Amino acid sequence: MREFDLIVIGSGSGLDVANAVAQDGLRVAIIEKARMGGTCLNRGCIPSKLLIHSADVAETIKGAGQFGINVGEYSVDFEKIVSRTNNIVDSDSDGIRRAFSEIDNPKLFPNECRFVGEKTISVGGQEIKAQKILIASGTRPAIPKIKGLEGTGFITSDEALRLKKQPSTLAIIGGGYIAAELAHFFGSLGTKINIIQRHDVLLPDEDEEVARKFTEVFSKKYSVFLGYSTESVGKSNGMFNIVAKNSSGKRIEIESDQLLVAAGRVPNSDTLDLGKTGVKTDGGGFITVDEHLETSVKGIFALGDAVGRYLFKHAANHEAQYAYYNLTHDKKIPVDYTAMPHAIFSSPQVAGAGYTEKELEEKGIPYTKAVYPYIRTAMGEAIEDRDGFVNLLASKEGKILGCHIIGSHASVLIHEVLVAMKLGASVHDIVRTVHVHPALSEVVARAASAFG
């Protein structure tokens, strides 16, 4: 049996920890059964945003007329769009694997693994052991139990990012951020979109006003069926037939040449046989950790999607810094999640941080709010964004409790608020900060100024 000082399971954000510990002179093993770089690089945020940029360009072209730019006919080379993305992603992933194949520390084990005993792992036909282990095993698409779904050839986000042929009609089961981003990608390039959502709004985890506005905008562009649960899926002559029903018993039938299941994600912990080493999971299969990211077993830590606190790559990268410190020091420090942001790269974009109004009300936290529309700023009018707005939530004293943005460049605009929240600044500090005129960031300042 080969022993190491640290074993890292997963080559996403766990890779940063493995490299850092190896540079400290300790012996490190890293286990990755799939492509190097984890979900973000291969099946998540990187390829999806490369694809979505093409959709953004197409949408800009289609809307050029309102700005006096008359564009003639244009065509979409779907295969070229996907090929460009895959070439970039695969090149990066292959480069990481080549780099690790040429070194012995960290030692790469390119195989599936599972625990076979206390801090002992079987991988590639051999057993390895370490007193310190980091589990960064990530998640995979959740597949709901729907009559007839299995065996139809449906796709998840994994396959959607590598389709060679553009669907003419795409049905999507689910209405969260994955559904929103992929609907924007395919829809902006000309695919007819049908979204089946069991909730009464799209993006139900977002601030309520943002979710309602997003649903309103999307419903103008695509066919959105709210409050419907999918009952069955069939396939005949190459076409999918989806039957869904709402709470009133009304049924709808949707036919499409492709079906995307975007019903959330589940952790990969069930593949690791964690019980053999005593690591506990919660009801959803996410690994239970304390404030230091340590599991129920001393010396075994976990981070990222495997933990399930925040399913974002930037959150995993943030946790990786703490995991490295806590793995290598006796006195551990708790993870600071202050102002943890998120963004949805659809059209319109959505971004947020802190509490939503619903969360503040449920917790009984007093708050005031200010909503300011993009269109009432000079740049908002210049770009004709009539749907975008900033919803800023603050205490009576001006402490920022939450901020939620929908509209152009929301993923960028949120950062001013993040810095303020992290530093303990108030809405009044934002107002006192000189903003470039007429930059779009004025919409954040205007929302802050509404607090007086």
| Catalytic positions | 437
- Six-digit token string for 57: 């360009």
Are 100 and 108 spatial neighbours (Cβ–Cβ below 8 Å)? yes
Taking the alpha carbons at both ends of the chain, their separation in whole angstroms is: 67
Are 261 and 154 spatial neighbours (Cβ–Cβ below 8 Å)? yes
Round to whole Å and give the CA distance between 31 and 276: 18
Residue for token pair 């640290």: 6
Q: Which residues of 110-137 are buried (b: 16+ CB within 10 A; e: fewer)?
A: beebebeeebbbbbeeeebbbebbbbbb
Strands 300-302 and 126-135: what pairing? parallel
- Six-digit token string for 179: 């559904």
Are 353 and 402 spatial neighbours (Cβ–Cβ below 8 Å)? yes
Element (H, E) at 312: none
**C-alpha 201: how far from chain center:** 19
- Six-digit token string for 413: 């605009």
- Six-digit token string for 287: 């690994």
Round to whole Å and give the CA distance between 2 and 125: 12
Round to whole Å and give the CA distance between 199 and 180: 14
Round to whole Å and give the CA distance between 296 and 302: 10
- 3-class state of residue 256 by DSSP: strand
Most distant CA atoms of the chain, gap in Å: 71
Nearest to 157 by CA among 260, 239, 232: 260
